[in-house]
Each structure stands twice: as structure tokens, then as C-alpha cells.
Amino acid sequence: MTINFLFIGNEIERRRISFQSIIYIKTEDYLSTFYLLNNQKFCCSKPLCAIAKCLPDYFIQINKGCIVNLNEISSFKPSKYIIVIADAIELKISIRRMKALNNALNSQNVLIT
């Protein structure tokens, strides 16, 4: 049985979020914000490390406070340590995460030149 969603909540509501609808997850001020398709957002207080354990392999942590869906990366600028995702949003990659990102993109059959 394959799980295709994450069931997560905050003090107001609990929401079922499909993995495919997650563009990226960013943590700021002890809140994890899920940036979803159709310009939707959902905030919770769950730490990023706990969320990361529940996500499939096509999600990767690119810095201390951000996890990205590899399928949503539209551009990769290794010399500037930046990826561009779906809506032309630029996200900074930690130098320590570059090798893992390259490996993940290679395993997703993405050609890196």
C-alpha cells in the first residue's frame, strides 16, 4: 500500500495534503509553511526534521529551513547556489547540500550539464 498524502494539523484544522501538491516546505519562526499548488499555503508547528521523515524520496532538504519537491524544480544555478521552482521563486541551496541535490537530480533522470 502506497501512501500518497500527509495528514497534518495545527490548532485550527487538520488537513490532508497530497505529496504531488507540495511545491516546497519552509520553516521560519518555529512554523513550517507548506507552499502548495494553486497558491495555497498551510502552516503548522511541526519541525522540519519530523516532516522530512514522512516525505517520499523526491523531496530533498536544500538548506536548514527548506525542503523542495524535485519535480517542481524548473532551473538550477549551481554557480550561484540557487534553484528556481515552479512560480519563478528562487531558493538558496546550502553548500553542504549541493552534493545531495546533484545526486537526487541524477537519480530522477535529470541531466545536469
In tens, the pLDDT along 71-100 reads 999 988 889 999 999 778 999 999 999 999
Please determine, for residue 17, whether its predicted confidence score (pLDDT) is greater than 80.
yes
The pTM is what? 0.89
In which band, very low, low, confident or very high, does the pLDDT at 111 lie, cut at 50, 70 and 90?
low
Given pLDDT bands bounded at 50, 70 and 90, which one contains residue 51?
very high
Three cell numbers written together for 99: 552534493
Find the length of the chain: 113
**CA 66, CA 94: separation in Å to the nearest integer?**
10
Which residue reads 532551473 in cell numbers? 75
Task: Give the residue-averaged pLDDT of 35-62.
Answer: 93
Would you state the cell numbers that stand for residue 45, as one nine-digit string? 508547528
pLDDT at 109: 62
**Mean pLDDT, range 100-108, rounded to an integer:** 83
- Measured CA to CA, the distance from residue 92 to residue 60 in angstroms comes to 13
Q: What is the CATH number of domain 19-107?
A: 2.40.50.1020
Question: Quick one: average pLDDT of 41-69?
Answer: 94
